Amino acid sequence: MATSEENIYDEIEIEDMTYDSTLQIYHYPCPCGDRFEISLDDLRDGETDIGICPSCSLQIRVIYEVDDLPKPESEQGKREAVTMSDQQVASLAAVA
Amino acid sequence: MLYALGSNGRGQLGLGHYDDVAQPTEVALNSPTSTLERAKIAAGGNHTLLLLATGEVYATGLDVHHRSAHDQSLADTSTTSTYKRVQVTNGEQSVQIKFCSATWSASTFVTADDSVYVCGNGASGELGLGLGVSDTTTPIVLNSFPPADTTIVSLAACMGHTAVVLSTGEVYGWGNGRKGQLGLPPQRRWSPCRIEGVPFKAVRAVCGREFTVIAGDPEEGKFVVLGSNKCRVKSGAPASITGWKDIAASWGSIFVLLDSGRLLAWGRDDHGQLGPPNLDSVELFAAGSEHALAYTGAGKLRAWGWGEHGNCGPGVGTESDTKGRCNGIEVEGLVVGLGAGCATSWVFTKAPTNDES
């Protein structure tokens, strides 16, 4: 859905959002009863700063600093996909 | 009778199904309709509390009061689409409730003898049970609150925080205070804290999403708005308001109903939340998250604001709001009470007597 200023319900600081470590999303209540959601990946990539509500047309803009987001290596006990570079794969294969 | 309309994806309207409705739809309750006299509604994001004058509380929607000890998060919590009794007990017996309120996914109950029970989930101190306590599966009493020799005269809550007015005129609050809505310094409050910055004896409080309205005696007209000034909810407020009979807050707007029936409103209006300019004299009023309901002296039920989920009734328009006007809602009988939540609306009615029809 296109972002128009009319659909931006509010600008929300990420400190006021709740982080769901299982789904790896930040969420915030929407006045319709559902919640605005944005994925950690989207925030890290800088792809979008817009949180979408699955149940209605309202959206939020998330105010955050990329540096303040959880770093991949500091996430403890969470399942995460580890992607290795070709060089890392090659060096692991060399010692196997 | 109790009618409901609006958002219903978690059964929060209590209709026995999970579809939104745009027409007032009767809520089937397994009790005589006389028990609905002077009943009140409090609504969270996905759960609804129905407080009867008898002191019993019922709830529907996200089942925050009947959770299994195995529930790891709200995602595991089941829903109900019909009202179930909420058992608030002091270990021996059920206690009578005089006030209840709801934050996004938690409930607060004040008993007839001024104990406070909380239940549900909240990551910003909404439970008031102490630092880091963000979840309870059954109603738990707040210890050491209210202070000795005080009673609770007003309870209010919105998405992230709760405010309580004591018989002494002091105001306490807990939950998300990061915008100053619980006084300074702006921070989360995980236990009831006295709200400073109220230079008068308070009689009533209402909460918006990021602000708190505290009012003194209507004859003196003192009031204060604490917290965020988004949409000028603070700077747009009159210096004083005398002769009011009710106050209410939406997530971004404030409403004051005067004894004369005139409704003052200020704050957010991007979807017509402040209502039409030529509203008749208002008898009853309820403010939801971004919409409002009013019952006029002429016996008309009106709704306005953001109505995308049918909560303002049918015919709200493709823009999903009532900007510049209001919507009429037809319902049978005399309207005796109103309720409003997160894109949800409730209407209490009674059959007219011979004099009234």
- Min Cα distance A54 → chain B (Å) is 12
Q: Which residues of A touch B45 (CB under 8 A)?
A: 29, 33, 35
Checking if the pLDDT of B85 tops 60, the result is yes
Q: What letter does residue B321 receive in the DSSP assignment? A: B
- Min Cα distance A75 → chain B (Å) is 19
- pLDDT given at position B76: 72
- What's the Cα-to-Cα distance from A92 to each of A82, A83, A84, A89, B56, rounded to whole Å? 14, 13, 10, 5, 66
Among B85-89, B227-231, B281-285, whose mean pLDDT is lowest? Answer: B85-89
- Asked if A33's CB is within 8 angstroms of B12's CB, the reply is yes
- pLDDT given at position B326: 87
Q: Which residue has the tokens 């005696």?
A: B217
Task: For A86, list phi and psi in degrees, rounded to 5.
Answer: -60, -35
- pLDDT given at position B71: 67
Residue A76 and residue A60 in one domain: no
Checking if the pLDDT of B318 tops 60, the result is no
Overall domain count for chain A:
2
Distance in angstroms (rounded) separating the CA atoms of residues B333 and B353: 10
Q: Which residues of A touch B309 (CB under 8 A)?
A: 32-33, 55-56
pLDDT confidence band for A72 (50 / 70 / 90): confident
Q: Confirm whether the ipTM is greater than 0.85.
A: yes
Burial grade of A74 (CB within 10 A; 0-12, 13-18, 19 or more): exposed
Checking if the pLDDT of B68 tops 90, the result is no
Find the mean pLDDT for residues B172-182: 98
- pLDDT given at position B356: 57
| Residue B217 exposure: Cα atoms within 13 Å on the Cβ side | 7
Residue A54 and residue A77 in one domain: no
Residue A74 and residue A37 in one domain: no
B9 interfaces chain A, CB cutoff of 8 Å? yes
A24 interfaces chain B, CB cutoff of 8 Å? no
- Asked if A16's CB is within 8 angstroms of B178's CB, the reply is yes
Residue A58 and residue A94 in one domain: no
Best B181, B211, B309 residue to mutate vs chain A (most A CBs within 10 Å)? B309
DSSP per-residue letters across B67-130: --TT--SGGG--EEEEEEE---BSSSSB--EEEEEE-SEEEEEEETTS-EEEEEE-TTSTT-SS
Residue A13 and residue A55 in one domain: yes
Residue A49 and residue A95 in one domain: no
pLDDT confidence band for B91 (50 / 70 / 90): confident
Q: Which residues of A touch B320 (CB under 8 A)?
A: 57
Of A15, A20, A57, the CB nearest to B308: A57
Residues 118-177 of B with CB under 8 A from A: 123, 159, 176
Checking if the pLDDT of B248 tops 80, the result is yes
Check residues B255 and B34 and name the one with the higher pLDDT.
B255
Could you tell me whether strands A59-63 and A8-13 are parallel, antiparallel, or unpaired per DSSP bridges?
Answer: parallel
- What's the Cα-to-Cα distance from B8 to each of A32, A53, B4, B59, rounded to whole Å? 10, 15, 10, 14
**For the domain that residue A30 is a member of, what is the CATH number?**
3.10.660.10
Residue A59 and residue A75 in one domain: no
Pick from B89, B83, B39: nearest CA to B59: B83
- pLDDT given at position B353: 78
Residue A18 and residue A41 in one domain: yes
- pLDDT given at position B112: 96
Distance in angstroms (rounded) separating the CA atoms of residues B205 and B271: 25
Checking if the pLDDT of B3 tops 60, the result is yes
A11 interfaces chain B, CB cutoff of 8 Å? no
A21 interfaces chain B, CB cutoff of 8 Å? no
pLDDT confidence band for B210 (50 / 70 / 90): very high
SS3 at position A72: helix
Burial grade of B347 (CB within 10 A; 0-12, 13-18, 19 or more): buried
Residues B152/B158/B162/B168 CA torsion (nearest 10 deg): -40
Q: Which residues of A touch B341 (CB under 8 A)?
A: 33
Q: Which residues of A touch B60 (CB under 8 A)?
A: none
pLDDT confidence band for B322 (50 / 70 / 90): low
Could you tell me which chain B residue has the CA closest to the CA of A17?
Answer: B123
Instruction: Dump pLDDT digits (tens) for B98-142.
Output: 999 999 999 999 999 999 999 999 999 999 999 999 999 899 999
Check residues B315 and B312 and name the one with the higher pLDDT.
B312
Report which secondary-structure segment, H or E, holds B191: strand B189-194
Residue A3 and residue A30 in one domain: yes
A31 interfaces chain B, CB cutoff of 8 Å? yes
pLDDT confidence band for A89 (50 / 70 / 90): low
- Asked if B45's CB is within 8 angstroms of A55's CB, the reply is no
Distance in angstroms (rounded) separating the CA atoms of residues B30 and A13: 44
Residue type, A55: S
Instruction: Dump pLDDT digits (tens) for B323-347.
Output: 778 899 999 999 999 999 999 999 9
Residue type, B47: H
Residue type, B40: K
Q: Which residues of A touch B104 (CB under 8 A)?
A: 29
Distance in angstroms (rounded) separating the CA atoms of residues B4 and B23: 8
Best A8, A32, A58 residue to mutate vs chain B (most B CBs within 10 Å)? A32
Checking if the pLDDT of A7 tops 90, the result is no
Sheet with B152-157: strands ordered across: B152-157, B161-166, B171-175, B189-194
Number of Cβ atoms within 10 Å of the Cβ of B314? 15
Contacts of B342 (CB under 8 A, 6+ apart): A29, A30, A31, A32, A33, B7, B12, B43, B44, B45, B46, B288, B289
Residue A28 and residue A57 in one domain: yes
Of B12, B73, B342, the CB nearest to A31: B342
Domain containing residue A74: 70-96
- Min Cα distance B70 → chain A (Å) is 17
- Asked if B104's CB is within 8 angstroms of A29's CB, the reply is yes
- What's the Cα-to-Cα distance from A32 to each of A25, B3, B6, B258, B277, rounded to whole Å? 19, 19, 9, 29, 25
Contacts of B62 (CB under 8 A, 6+ apart): B10, B12, B44, B45, B46, B47, B74, B77, B79, B105
- Min Cα distance B294 → chain A (Å) is 19
Checking if the pLDDT of A94 tops 60, the result is no
Residue A42 and residue A18 in one domain: yes
What are the sequence ranges of the domains in chain B? 1-30+270-357
Of B104, B176, B309, the CB nearest to A32: B309
Average pLDDT, chain B: 93
Residue A45 and residue A27 in one domain: yes
